[in-house]
A and B are shown apart, each in its own frame.
Chain A
Amino acid sequence: MPTFKLDGREIPFEPGDTIIKAAWRQGIEIPHYCWHPGLSVAANCRMCLVEIKAERPMLMPTLKWDADKQAYVPSDKPKLTPSCQAPAVAGQEVFSQSSEAKNAQAHVQEFLLLNHPVDCPICDQAGECKLQDYWQTSQGTLKRKDTEPVHKPKAVRFGPTIVYDGERCIMCTRCIRVCDEVVGDHVLDMRERGNKNEITVSPGRELDHKYTLMTEHVCPVGALTSRDFRFKARVWFLRTQKSVCTGCATGCNDYMDFDPRKNEVFRIRPRDNAEVNKFWMCDDGMMSYHRVHKDRVTQGLVAGKAVAPAEALTAAAAALGKVAGPNIGVVLSAQHSSEDNFALARFAREVLGSERFYLAALGGWEADKILRHADNNPNRAGALAAVSSKAGSLADLLKDVSSGAVQGVIALGWASAEDASALSALRSLKAMVTLSSNSGALTEVASTVVPVASFAETEGTFVNAKGMAQHFDRVIHAPDGVQPGWLTLVELAKAMGKTLAFAQLSDLRGSIAVGAAAATQEARS
Chain B
Amino acid sequence: MAKLISRPNMTAAEAMYVPEIAKGLGITIGRFFKNTFSSRGTEGNEIDTIDYPEERRTYPERFRGIHRLTHRADGSPRCVACLCCSTACPAQCIHIEAAEYPQGDARHGYERFPKVFVIDELRCIFCGFCVEACPCDAIRMDSGLHMPPSTQRAHFIFDKEMLMAIPAADGSFETKNPRHEPGDPTHPGVDREHHH
Contacts and interface: CB of A to CB of B under 8 A. Distances in A.
A148 B191 contact: yes
A169 to B, nearest CB: 13
A15 interface: no
A122 B79 CA distance: 11
B100 interface: yes
B82 A196 contact: no
A154 B87 contact: no
Give the bracket for the number of chain A residues in contact with chain B.
Answer: 20 to 34
A155 B80 CA distance: 15
The B interface, classified by DSSP as helix, strand, loop or mixed, is loop
A55 B38 CA distance: 99
Contact of B108 (A122, A155, A166, A237): A155
A165 B82 contact: no
Contacts of A121: 80, 82, 84, 135
A454 to B, nearest CB: 25
A152 B189 CA distance: 9
Contacts of B82: 121-122
Contacts of A231: 81, 98-100, 112
Contacts of A230: 100
Interface in B144-196: 188-189, 191-196
A148 B111 CA distance: 19
Contacts of A198: 194
A234 interface: yes
Interface in A216-273: 230-231, 234, 236-237, 261
The A interface, classified by DSSP as helix, strand, loop or mixed, is loop
A192 B196 CA distance: 7
B95 to A, nearest CB: 10
Contacts of A148: 188, 191
A140 interface: no
B59 interface: no
Nearest to B196: A192
Interface in A111-152: 117, 119, 121-122, 148-149, 151-152
Contacts of A166: 194
Interface in B93-150: 98-100, 108-112, 135
B83 interface: yes
A122 B109 contact: no
Contact of A122 (B81, B92, B193, B195): B81
Contact of A151 (B92, B189, B196): B189
Given A121-B80, A122-B80, A151 B109 contact: no
A150 to B, nearest CB: 9
B40 to A, nearest CB: 52
A61 interface: no
Contacts of B100: 155, 230-231
Contacts of B99: 231
A32 B93 CA distance: 39
A121 B195 CA distance: 28
Nearest to B189: A151
A261 B87 CA distance: 13
Contacts of A165: 109
B196 A155 contact: no
A148 B185 CA distance: 12
Contacts of A149: 188
A198 B195 CA distance: 12
A153 interface: yes
B194 A151 contact: yes
A508 to B, nearest CB: 38
Contact of A155 (B83, B109, B135, B188): B109
Interface string A150-174: 0111110000000001100000000
Interface of A: 117, 119, 121-122, 148-149, 151-155, 165-166, 192, 196, 198, 230-231, 234, 236-237, 261
Given A153-B194, A230-B100, 12 more contacts: A122-B80, A122-B81, A122-B82, A148-B191, A151-B191, A154-B110, A155-B109, A192-B196, A196-B195, A231-B98, A231-B100, A236-B87
28 contacts: A117-B188, A121-B82, A122-B81, A122-B82, A148-B188, A148-B191, A149-B188, A151-B189, A151-B191, A151-B192, A151-B193, A152-B194, A153-B194, A154-B108, A154-B109, A154-B189, A155-B108, A166-B194, A192-B196, A198-B194, A230-B100, A231-B81, A231-B98, A231-B100, A231-B112, A234-B87, A236-B87, A237-B87
Instruction: List the 7 closest A-B pairs by CB distance, nearest first.
Output: A155-B109, A154-B109, A121-B82, A231-B98, A234-B83, A121-B135, A122-B82
